[in-house]
Amino acid sequence: MTTAGSARRLSRDDWLDAAMTAMAHGGVRGIRVEPLAKAMRTSKGSFYWHFRDRADLVRATLERWEQLETDRVIEVVESTTHPRERLRRLLAIAHRQDPERPDPSVALTGDHDDPVRVVLERVTARRIGFVAEQLMALGIAPEEAARRATLAYTSYLGYAALVRSAPGVLPADQAVRRYIETVLTVLVSTTTEHRRDG
């Protein structure tokens, strides 16, 4: 009976897995030890053996999150060579409507004490920086690229917020692809206009 469901001993990693899932739903503040223990069918006694306190768990979870949702995503995307394709691929990943995704809720829930903010600031800067690099590779001037990267990234965050709070207004599954094309096109547009309007 060494089945997974049985009363096995738990590792620190088991707790981290659970914390990631919890963070996907409720953000950082969704990481609560008593509900976590209940979900894992164990007790707080286990938790406080593996972790000093809740802050310890939060910090460790954020480390893993950074590694998984930033380092690894960037690695994957960089396996494509063409900058425009990289962006397209990145946008596709970013707009996958998956409420199980731990990523955006981190940036979206708004309490955030200092330790959390530090990680968030670092991750955000890296992400926007990566997008800006691709835009520069496409011939956009550095400062303009930075602005457009910020536009792209904030849009990603807001999109994720709407997935949770008002999914009805977002493009339906089939239309997401078209939406991404619009974002991409607009991001790399050469602004040759200033045309008259209606």
Partner DNA sequence: TAAAATCCATACGCAACCGTATGGAGCCTC
Partner DNA sequence: GAGGCTCCATACGGTTGCGTATGGATTTTA
Which of 119, 101, 92 shows the shortest CA–CA distance to 27?
101
Is there binding between residue 59 and DNA (CB under 7 A)?
no
- How far apart are CB 75 and DNA at their closest, in Å? 32
Is there binding between residue 28 and DNA (CB under 7 A)?
no
Q: Which two tokens stand for residue 181?
A: 């094309």
Q: Which of 44, 82, 96, 117 binds DNA (CB under 7 A)?
A: 44
61 binds, among its own copies, DNA, none (CB under 5 to 8 A by kind): none
Give, as ranges, the residues between 75 and 134 that touch its own copies (CB under 8 A): 82-84, 105, 107-112, 117, 120-121, 124-125, 128
Q: CA angle, corner 156, sides to 153 and 162, nearest 5?
A: 145
Choose the binding region for DNA from 26-34, 89-97, 135-143, 163-171 (rule: CB under 7 A): 26-34
Sign for the CA dihedral angle at 74, 77, 81, 85 comes to negative
State the Cα–Cα distance between residues 35 and 26, nearest whole angstrom. 12
Which of 80, 141, 194 shows the shortest CA–CA distance to 149?
141
- Footprint of DNA (CB under 7 A): 7-10, 31-35, 37, 42-46, 48-50, 53-55
